[in-house]
């Protein structure tokens, strides 16, 4: 796992390429990658757009979805979970855009960081999903 604060490095891009077995294309300040999953026959296009003032803007496109995470200031690449989590956070809130090697993606937005530290048995099912998905970020932030 790697986490970078406020900077996605060339090393991070390489780790993402290795995980998904695809390569980034660079055009100006935009890095794009097409992630293919034969398992569920899906294509996910991800664009990382460098913004000098607020980290990166991450746009994700599928056949029927467009997700966007602004002010991405951290990234987590997990070989074990076979996923990448693009993270945008403030002192109290966290948002995560998760892209899985299996071909799925999820966005959890404006999650109160207290939820990540709560006893999971005390959470309703909707908050439980975000807490489980983003709790991995707590061990490294």
φ/ψ of 127, rounded to 5, equals -70, -30
Per-residue model confidence (pLDDT) at position 8: 74
pLDDT tier, 95 (very low <50, low <70, confident <90, very high otherwise): very high
- C-alpha distances in Å from residue 14, one per residue of 7, 22, 23: 14, 10, 8
Structure tokens given for 95: 């948002």
Least confident of 17-21, 42-46, 72-76, 104-108: 72-76
Looking at the predicted structure, is the pLDDT value of residue 1 above 50?
A: no
The torsion defined by the Cα of 50, 51, 56 and 58, in degrees rounded to 10, comes to -80
SS3 52: coil
**Mean pLDDT for the chain overall:** 87
pLDDT in tens, 31-63: 999 998 877 788 999 999 988 777 899 999 998
Burial class for 10, CB neighbours closer than 10 Å (0-12, 13-18, 19+): exposed
- The reported pTM is 0.88
Residue 93 CB neighbours (<10 A): 14
**Alpha-carbon gap, residue 114 to 14, rounded angstroms:** 33
Task: Give residue limits of the domains in the chain.
Answer: 2-139
Q: Is the pLDDT of residue 2 over 60?
A: no
């Amino acid at each position: 796992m790697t986490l970078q604060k406020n900077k996605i490095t060339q090393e991070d891009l390489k780790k993402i390429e290795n995980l998904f077995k695809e390569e980034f294309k660079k055009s100006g300040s935009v890095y794009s990658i097409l992630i293919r999953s034969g398992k569920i026959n899906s294509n996910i296009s991800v664009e990382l757009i460098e913004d000098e003032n607020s980290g990166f803007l991450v746009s994700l496109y599928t056949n029927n979805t467009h997700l966007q995470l602004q002010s991405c200031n951290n990234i987590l690449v997990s070989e074990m979970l076979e996923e990448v989590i693009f993270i945008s956070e403030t002192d109290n809130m966290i948002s995560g855009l998760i892209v899985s090697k299996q071909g799925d993606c999820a966005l959890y937005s404006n999650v109160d960081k207290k939820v990540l530290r709560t006893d999971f048995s005390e959470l309703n099912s909707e908050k439980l999903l975000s807490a489980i998905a983003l709790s991995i970020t707590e061990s490294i932030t």
